[in-house]
Amino acid sequence: MKIRDDATVTGASEGTAGRRQAEETLLKAGALQNAIFNSANFSSIATDAKGVIQIFNVGAERMLGYAAAEVVNKITPADISDPQEVIARAKELSIELGTAITPGFEALVFKASRGIEDIYELTYIRKDNSRFPAMVSVTALRDAQNVIIGYLLIGTDNTARKLVEAEQRKLDQRLRDQQFYTRSLIESNIDALMTADPHGIITDVNKQMEALTGCTRDELIGAPFKDYFTDPERAEAGIKRVLMEKKVTDYELTARTRDDKETVVSYNLTTFYDRGRTLQGVFASARDVTEQKQRERDALSLTNEISHRIKNNLQVIVGLISYEAKWTAAPCVQGYKTMQARIGAIAQLYDLISQTSRGQTVAVDAYLREIAKTMSASLLGNMSGIKIEVEGEPVEIDPDRAVPFGLLINELTTNAIKHAFPGGIGCIRLCVQRAGDQIELVVADDGIGMTNVVTKSPEKRGTDYVAIFVRQLGGAIMPSEPEATGTTVRIRLPLLLVPSGGAEPLAA
């Protein structure tokens, strides 16, 4: 039933000023009623005391799909509500208010009938059986004696709000899923992970970090990172370094738990930023390298043991040669010394290989210097007038080729010592340099030159060895130019040497 438009004309027969005022008031009230009851955005349903619908405005018609005539004096609002919700509401109110409330219209208006403000969500059912969520406000209508004569249920369609809420719930769930995923990644990592602010204060950790430090997440967060390591200064220096360099890798620290259990860890540290590229802190990932360190110690111990045995065996050979030399005629002694120098060259190679941290290459410049030093000591002595100088480009050689390469230098240098300087004074220069896609080894002396040397048959062995080593290295001896003084031997080798960083000429 629609409110009548002519309601404002009731009692319009009086002609006093009071009457005009009353008429104006009524006019305003009528306009307000019209606005409310004809609003398409609010469903206004008024009932009698028993709940039977008496008024069903245009908003209710639009939302619910019924014409007023189809519902007025025929049904209650409970008949167009979700019955399950009505039953549930009756049950909840019965518990809340401590009295039995019948599922049905009573459940919809019980609070309002007791003078309690009541606004709640309710699912209305349209004429076509489709549903929509509504926010319903219920007010009891009373007469002059305060007796309830009916109820007014004003509803708004909550569909859009519900959709927004549903969307928000989805987004919240997606965010929670994302957070769970991210957390799972952090927690499932085998490394101890941590974030710290730029001052080195821990802001987040994973379980592995708790295990590494023996502290709980709550204890760690807010504490200084450096406090959990045997060397706090080094730990702090790591944070400072990553703040300067943005990335630090393989930074070793020893973590210590409260009960003094120590774990050697290798840290990778990086800085991280927010969307605006503002520094947020440091991300640190620590891998337990205790076992790796033990393996390295074991390997080093084994290397030392092997090196000790090899060097002792070589020492025995050198000792045997020395002993033999004592009982040998003077002209043959030099041959024994040459043999000792060859053994010394091989021994130096062992040292250089063990000193090469990468373990895969030998530094040729250092190798040349060591050979020169060994030969100077064993063949020349401090008082000798013959000097050996080294000029080596910083190149590296693989260990397989280092032996023939070292022995080649040994033979050429020994040859120069023996034949180039009858006066006992001179200089031998050992040089390794890149020549295009080849390597050039130069052994030069400023002695008497080859034409003046009389090669004795037994000493030709050294020359034979040189040819063998050059062939072994896949190289070639370059034709020598006639020289006024001295001898220069140039040997070209395939590019078996690898250039390394730096370029510092060396001299022995």
Partner 1 sequence: MAAILIVEDDVFIREVAEMTIQGWGHQTLVASDVDEALAILRSPQHIDALFTDIYLKTAVLGGCEVAIQAIALRPGLRVLYTTGNTITDKMKALLVEGTHFLSKPYTENQLEESVKTMFA
Indicate which single residue of 318, 427, 468, 476 sits in contact with partner 1 (rule: CB under 8 A): 318
Which CB, 146 or 382, lies closer to partner 1? 382
Indicate which single residue of 355, 452, 463, 480 sits in contact with partner 1 (rule: CB under 8 A): 355
Q: Is 349 in the site for partner 1 (CB under 8 A)?
A: no
Which CB, 337 or 369, lies closer to partner 1? 337
H or E element, residue 44: strand 42-48
Structure tokens at 495: 């590019």
Which CB, 95 or 316, lies closer to partner 1? 316
Q: Is 351 in the site for partner 1 (CB under 8 A)?
A: yes
Indicate which single residue of 314, 403, 477, 506 sits in contact with partner 1 (rule: CB under 8 A): 314
Taking the complex as a whole, how short is the minimal distance between the CB of residue 402 and partner 1, in angstroms? Answer: 16
Restricting to residues 285-304, name those near partner 1 by CB under 8 A. 301, 304
Q: How far is CA 390 from CA 26, 171, 365, 419, in A?
A: 118, 72, 8, 20
The answer to whether the beta carbons of residues 150 and 46 sit under 8 Å apart is yes
The answer to whether the beta carbons of residues 374 and 348 sit under 8 Å apart is yes
Q: CB under 8 Å to 112, separation ≥6 — which residues?
A: 118, 138, 139, 140, 151
Restricting to residues 423-462, name those near partner 1 by CB under 8 A. none
Q: Which residues pair with 57 in a beta bridge?
A: none
Q: How far apart are the first and last CA of the chain?
A: 117
Rounded to the nearest 10 degrees, how much is the dihedral formed by the CA atoms of 66, 69, 73, 74?
Answer: -50
Indicate which single residue of 99, 184, 312, 480 sits in contact with partner 1 (rule: CB under 8 A): 312
How many amino acids of this chain bind partner 1 (CB under 8 A)? 28
Q: Is 403 in the site for partner 1 (CB under 8 A)?
A: no
3-state SS track over 237-265: HHHHHHHHHCEEEEEEEEEECCCCCEEEE
Which CB, 275 or 326, lies closer to partner 1? 326
Which CB, 237 or 314, lies closer to partner 1? 314
CA–CA distance, 38 with 426 (Å, rounded to integer)? 121
Cα–chain center distance at 36: 62
Which CB, 103 or 344, lies closer to partner 1? 344
Indicate which single residue of 133, 150, 344, 475 sits in contact with partner 1 (rule: CB under 8 A): 344
The answer to whether the beta carbons of residues 465 and 407 sit under 8 Å apart is yes
Which CB, 340 or 410, lies closer to partner 1? 340
Q: How far is CA 69 from CA 50, 53, 54, 232, in A?
A: 18, 10, 10, 85
Which CB, 155 or 344, lies closer to partner 1? 344
Q: Is 35 in the site for partner 1 (CB under 8 A)?
A: no
Q: Is 357 in the site for partner 1 (CB under 8 A)?
A: no
The answer to whether the beta carbons of residues 442 and 431 sit under 8 Å apart is yes
Binding mask 373-402 for partner 1 (x = CB under 8 A): ----xx--xx--------------------
Question: For residue 410, how many other CB atoms are within 10 A of its CB?
Answer: 25
> Could you list the residues that contact partner 1 (CB under 8 A)?
301, 304, 307-308, 310-312, 314-319, 322-323, 325, 337, 340, 343-344, 347, 351, 354-355, 377-378, 381-382
